[in-house]
Chain A
Amino acid sequence: MSSLLQMNGITKSYGSKTALNDVSLEIGPGKIVGLLGSNGSGKSTLMKMVTGLLQPTRGTLTVAGLPVGLKSKALVSFMPDRPLTESWMKVRDAITFFQDFYDDFDIVKAREMLQFMKINESDRVSVLSKGMNERLQLTLALSRDAKLYLLDEPIGGVDPVARGKILDAIVEYYNEDSSIIISTHLVRDIERIFDEVVFIREGEIVMHEEVENLRIKYGKSVDDMFKEVYAE
């Protein structure tokens, strides 16, 4: 099966600081992958590079065989760590914005998700709480029929109820032919939905394993393994 995401020897440096160091990663279709690491380990940098927001200093990167660029942007749906909306927008404007620019945006799915997330289309984006805003951003990202979804800390900074709701939405609404990469350091809350996990530390991938293998080989849960890898 051909890989959906292929990274070969990706390095990203900012002057003398190296954010990612010689990262090689391959993700196949139909997987929910956890990109796990502590703060500043390079998770967001890796995701931004896949989406074209950052350029690698070295290495090659392809999405569905395409180099990152105009065509790959149409295949990747990204929920970043900051809103994809503008302050003047109402929820319905945000939906229209996505509908206007992404051919794969599914308006029926979006409305269904908004109902599931209990978000009102007439609400102003600027008055939504952090949790509700995260739900909206997730709705926008998952309502596309993309090949690859990238969710950067989708449950960071929201209460446990919202977390549950967001995780349920991910499982319920993601396109099963595609793959999702979810970055987080809140492993315990989210590990139940992962097929594979990638541990990243100080810009280097230290482990890429199927969750099932992790349990069989090491007899540990993802959370236990995370604590072991990132023990200080």
Chain B
Amino acid sequence: MMKLLKYDFKRNGAKLLGVAVVLILAQLSIMLLINNITLITVFSMLAYMIAGVILFITPIRTYSYNLKAYHRKLLPVHSLKTIISPIAMGFICLLILGLIMLIHGYVYLTVYENTRIFDIIKMYPMDTIMSLLSACWIMINMLITIFLAITIATSIRSKGSFWIGIVVFFIIVNGLSWIENLFFGESQWGIFQIFSDESNSAVDGIVTNVNYNPSSLTGGMIGSFIFELVCSVAFLYIMVKLIDRKVEA
């Protein structure tokens, strides 16, 4: 798997390097040219968001390419590794971006002596960790779901397979979200609950309100996580079978 990962990184090396350079230049420009703190925060977050979107799309494009590339299809490598490698690449890239963002945020908050957010983190350390883990899981889960839609679309040899893939993606996301709500109610965890999060936070660096109910962590939240984990494993199984039997180069 590491060898596949190495070549996925090498193929995308120029693009990843480009994103890093542009992001650094953008952040430097924002810091040096803008005086308004709110604007600095907004533009900084925007730059990170754009970089994040590019880094999120990169493994999707890589997976899509690998599914059709002769030199990848011919390798005596288990199909599961073909799926895991771009996920790992995307995860590593976004993790690095997230760490840079956190360090940047820490420096920014320290410089501007805005310690309120540190107080909240100190007050809810477990919640902070759970939020970060949840973000990681959402990303992995989302990539697996998108990959499944791509694999299904690629395994259909007809016009309009791209649109079939898109429809499949929304059916999976909404269908599973509905089932999850049915079983676990309003418990929050991963991808299928992402759009119904009730936590409030302000973008100007000051968290105004966090509605968090610690009791949900032990019950529905764990159930929700296990449900999503089982779904993801099932998706991986379906993808492996499709790649081995249906996806043709």
Q: Do A and B come from one complex?
A: yes
Interface string of B42-71 (1 = CB under 8 A from A): 000000000000000000000000000011
Contact between B73 and A52 (Cβ–Cβ < 8 Å)?
A: yes
Give the interface size bracket for B toward A.
20 to 34
Contact between B71 and A85 (Cβ–Cβ < 8 Å)?
A: yes
Which residues of chain B have C-beta atoms less than 8 A from A86's C-beta? 7, 11, 71
Answer whether residue A206 sits at the interface, using C-beta atoms and an 8 A cutoff.
no
Which residues of chain B have C-beta atoms less than 8 A from A102's C-beta? 76
Answer whether residue A101 sits at the interface, using C-beta atoms and an 8 A cutoff.
yes
Secondary structure type dominating chain B contacts: helix
Which residues of chain B have C-beta atoms less than 8 A from A78's C-beta? 70, 74
Known contacts A48-B249, A88-B10; A101 and B73 CB within 8 A of each other: no
Out of A48, A84, A88, name the residue touching B71 (CB < 8 Å).
A84
Contact between A53 and B70 (Cβ–Cβ < 8 Å)?
A: yes
Q: Which one of B18-26, B144-152, B167-175, B240-248 is at the A interface?
A: B240-248
Out of A71, A84, A100, name the residue touching B3 (CB < 8 Å).
A100
Which residues of chain A have C-beta atoms less than 8 A from B244's C-beta? 69
Contact between A55 and B70 (Cβ–Cβ < 8 Å)?
A: no
Out of A51, A55, A84, A101, name the residue touching B77 (CB < 8 Å).
A101
- Which residues 71-104 of A sit at the B interface, judged by CB distance below 8 A? 71, 73-74, 78, 80, 82-86, 88, 93, 97, 100-102
Which residues of chain B have C-beta atoms less than 8 A from A74's C-beta? 76
Contact between B246 and A101 (Cβ–Cβ < 8 Å)?
A: no
Which residues of chain B have C-beta atoms less than 8 A from A88's C-beta? 10-11, 13-14
Known contacts A97-B7, A100-B3; A84 and B248 CB within 8 A of each other: no
Docked pose: A78 CA to B71 CA in angstroms: 9
Out of A14, A53, A97, name the residue touching B157 (CB < 8 Å).
A14
Docked pose: A53 CA to B71 CA in angstroms: 10
- Which residues 38-72 of A sit at the B interface, judged by CB distance below 8 A? 48, 51-55, 69-71
- Measured CB to CB, the closest approach of chain A to B13, in angstroms, equals 7
Closest to A101 in B: B75
Out of A71, A82, A85, name the residue touching B76 (CB < 8 Å).
A71
- Measured CB to CB, the closest approach of chain B to A70, in angstroms, equals 6
Out of B11, B13, B246, name the residue touching A55 (CB < 8 Å).
B246
Contact between B76 and A70 (Cβ–Cβ < 8 Å)?
A: yes
Which residues of chain A have C-beta atoms less than 8 A from B71's C-beta? 83-86, 97
Contact between A73 and B74 (Cβ–Cβ < 8 Å)?
A: yes
Out of A14, A51, A69, name the residue touching B74 (CB < 8 Å).
A51
Contact between B11 and A53 (Cβ–Cβ < 8 Å)?
A: no
Docked pose: A70 CA to B60 CA in angstroms: 24
Interface string of A112-133 (1 = CB under 8 A from B): 0000000000000000000000
Which residues of chain A have C-beta atoms less than 8 A from B157's C-beta? 14
Interface string of B90-108 (1 = CB under 8 A from A): 0000000000000000000
Docked pose: A83 CA to B74 CA in angstroms: 12
Closest to B78 in A: A70
Docked pose: A184 CA to B77 CA in angstroms: 29
Contact between A84 and B70 (Cβ–Cβ < 8 Å)?
A: yes
Interface string of B75-95 (1 = CB under 8 A from A): 111100000000000000000
Closest to B14 in A: A88
Which residues of chain A have C-beta atoms less than 8 A from B7's C-beta? 86, 97, 100
- Measured CB to CB, the closest approach of chain B to A47, in angstroms, equals 11
Which residues of chain A have C-beta atoms less than 8 A from B14's C-beta? 88
Out of B76, B245, B249, name the residue touching A73 (CB < 8 Å).
B76
Contact between B76 and A55 (Cβ–Cβ < 8 Å)?
A: no
Chain A CB within 10 Å — which of B70, B76, B249 has the most?
A: B76
Docked pose: A83 CA to B75 CA in angstroms: 14
Chain A CB within 10 Å — which of B3, B7, B78 has the most?
A: B7
Docked pose: A71 CA to B244 CA in angstroms: 13
Known contacts A70-B76, A70-B78; A55 and B249 CB within 8 A of each other: no
Out of B6, B10, B13, B248, name the residue touching A53 (CB < 8 Å).
B248
Q: List 10 A-B contacts (CB under 8 A).
A: A48-B249, A54-B248, A55-B245, A55-B248, A69-B244, A82-B70, A83-B71, A84-B71, A88-B10, A100-B3
Which residues of B come within 8 Å of A, CB atoms? Answer: 3, 6-7, 10-11, 13-14, 70-71, 73-78, 157, 244-246, 248-249
| Pairs of residues from A and B, 3 with the lowest C-beta to C-beta distance, nearest first | A74-B76, A73-B76, A84-B71
